[in-house]
Structure 1
Amino acid sequence: MIFNRRKKNDLDVIRRKLVTFLNPKSPISEQYRTIRTNITFSSIGQEIRSLMVTSPSPGEGKSTTAANLAIVFAQQGKKVLLVDADLRKPTMHHTFNIFNSVGLTNVLTKQKALSATVQQSQLDQLHILCSGPIPPNPAELLGSYMMAEFLQEVYQEYEVVIFDTPPVLLVTDAQVVANQCDASILVVSSGQTNADTAMKAKEVLQSAQSKLLGVVLNNMSNKKSGYDYYYSQK
């Protein structure tokens, strides 16, 4: 995460997206830590090593949520890998201002080793795996046996693996990843996501045999407290 070459407007966006890193004492950062705690409590009896983050539709904050959850887990001392599994419209390289010349697609197609593609963030415990080149068949690649092999490999190196995926109602990619992860979280936006859409997204994830831990309600502003995020179990 290198910010000195960015324009002021870009920096403002980064500060907003990576609030847990740049302003860890803010009320919003505390909300992310609350989500982390809820994830930990919901995993009693079954350790959650891999977590998928998705949303019903674009623009609801799933990528921002995935990035900040990865940061707060790393701040807790966990060794974390944040994976940009949105192989259609990746954004993590923009969020962290890193290169996306190689990434997940190179690992899954056996073109590059995991060690040659992960990138170190400014947090010692957080590594990032960008999407890499956009493939012609994202869902097939994510559902292949190489993905299962990839998970087994990263479990040997990392305590927590967080996947950012495309919106679940647009393409099947999120369902494919959810089926292979220990748990999933659905991000919805206050004032944007209607109840029917949220319910449909929940049903789609459950049909993929995903363990849906709960819903993050994003952009729910409380002027008194300044909180913009709220977590509720399903």
Structure 2
Amino acid sequence: MITSNIKNESIGEILVQAGKLTPDEVAKVSEEQNNSGMRFGDCAIKLGLLTKVDLDRVLSEQFEFSYFEKTSDKFDKRVLAALEPEHPYSEKIRLLRVQLTLRWLNENTSIAIFGDDTGIGSSLNCANLAISFAQFGKKTLLVDANMRKPSQHNFFKLPNSVGLSQLLAGRTDVNAIQNLSHLKNLSILTSGALPPNPVELLGRSTMKNLVEQLESSYDVVIYDCPSVKEHSDGFILTSLIKGVVITSKKNLSKVSNFKQIVEKVDLSGGKVIGAVINDF
């Protein structure tokens, strides 16, 4: 990851710090810039000294928008919001972020996200959406509430020995939350060890108290929930979190199933605030 601590540095100085240009190359680009009237970055690309990808990544740091080289070992390669923010999928995630901000997060903090079936990419959406909110400057927490088939620790390459399950069982506290030093504003609470009784754990008063505590500490809290096709965990959480986003799969999900899920969310006291149709 490229970093710049001084906001008023010139783009040339930042590129030298990042190891993308030498001082002599900066002088050469500046001379071309004076002759052509082009912007510094465009001149460097024209002279073959810099690629557009390099320029975009350095500019992102200048404007405090964190993302990483595609070869970064900090994330699973599918976490495109961090690795490829220019990708069409990343843009769709940003659009989802905008809609949720306007429709829900202007007055609320927590969102529960689950799929209408297993293996349709709901957890991946959660990971990318959490990154997008963090990039937007929101203090964001991603909670892996899928204590059956958790995946957030894999997406972010984090240890998962302690997490939500131990917290709800009273064996740890909020210190189990992992703050990402390499991605400002984002923290992760992994699932922890897989318990034999996830429904009972989520139904405890400890979970209600945790939701309230986290809402007072973060701007945005995203709960990655297991599919409601096979398990009732998600409906327990919707009674506490209220705001729900349902993930469906193109050419797989059925309208009748979706309607049934919406009805169950309503009965649990939650509200469907959005739906995402994955086409990957």
| Equivalent in 30, 36, 46 of residue 91 of structure 2 | 30
Match of 1:53 in 2: 113
The C-alpha deviation readout for 1:107-162, integer Å capped at 9, x for no partner, is 112211212x1112331100000011111211111111000111122123211110
Match of 1:217 in 2: 277
- Inter-partner Cα distance in structure 2 for 1:197 and 1:182: 20
Q: Kindly provide the amino acid, as one letter, of the partner of residue 87 in structure 1.
A: M
Residue ranges of structure 2 left out of the alignment (5+ in a row): 1-67
Q: Kindly provide the amino acid, as one letter, of the partner of residue 151 in structure 1.
A: V
* 1:5–1:29 CA distance, 2 compared to 1 (3 A): closer
Size of the aligned set, in residue pairs, is: 210
Contact 1:85–1:165 (Cα < 8 Å) also in 2: yes
- Inter-partner Cα distance in structure 2 for 1:93 and 1:218: 22
Match of 1:104 in 2: 164
Match of 2:213 in 1: 153
- Inter-partner Cα distance in structure 2 for 1:5 and 1:50: 29
Larger helix proportion, structure 1 or 2?
A: 2
| Equivalent in 176, 187, 192 of residue 252 of structure 2 | 192
User: SS state of the match for residue 15, structure 1?
Assistant: coil
- Inter-partner Cα distance in structure 2 for 1:139 and 1:50: 19
Contact 2:245–2:273 (Cα < 8 Å) also in 1: yes
Match of 2:237 in 1: 177
Match of 1:139 in 2: 199
Deviation of the 1:59 alpha carbon: 1.0
| Equivalent in 141, 150, 159 of residue 90 of structure 1 | 150
Contact 1:81–1:129 (Cα < 8 Å) also in 2: yes
Contact 2:104–2:243 (Cα < 8 Å) also in 1: no
Match of 2:178 in 1: 119
- Inter-partner Cα distance in structure 1 for 2:169 and 2:219: 24
User: SS state of the match for residue 127, structure 1?
Assistant: strand
User: SS state of the match for residue 187, structure 2?
Assistant: strand
Deviation of the 1:213 alpha carbon: 0.4
Deviation of the 1:5 alpha carbon: 6.8
Match of 1:43 in 2: 104
* TM-score, normalised by the number of residues in structure 1: 0.84
Contact 2:244–2:270 (Cα < 8 Å) also in 1: yes
- Inter-partner Cα distance in structure 2 for 1:29 and 1:38: 14
The C-alpha deviation readout for 1:35-75, integer Å capped at 9, x for no partner, is 0111111127x612000000111011110111111111111
Deviation of the 1:173 alpha carbon: 0.2
Percentage identity across aligned positions?
Answer: 33
Which has the higher relative contact order, 1 or 2, with Cα contacts under 8 A spaced 6 or more apart?
Answer: 1
Root-mean-square deviation (CA, aligned residues, Å) is 1.9
Match of 2:265 in 1: 205
Contact 2:142–2:189 (Cα < 8 Å) also in 1: yes
| Structure 1 range deviating more: 146-155 or 169-178 | 146-155
Contact 2:161–2:192 (Cα < 8 Å) also in 1: yes
* 1:31–1:4 CA distance, 2 compared to 1 (3 A): closer
Deviation of the 1:182 alpha carbon: 3.6
- Inter-partner Cα distance in structure 2 for 1:119 and 1:189: 31
- Inter-partner Cα distance in structure 2 for 1:182 and 1:23: 32
Computing the radius of gyration over CA atoms, which structure comes out larger, 1 or 2?
A: 2
Contact 1:54–1:187 (Cα < 8 Å) also in 2: yes
Contact 2:165–2:193 (Cα < 8 Å) also in 1: yes
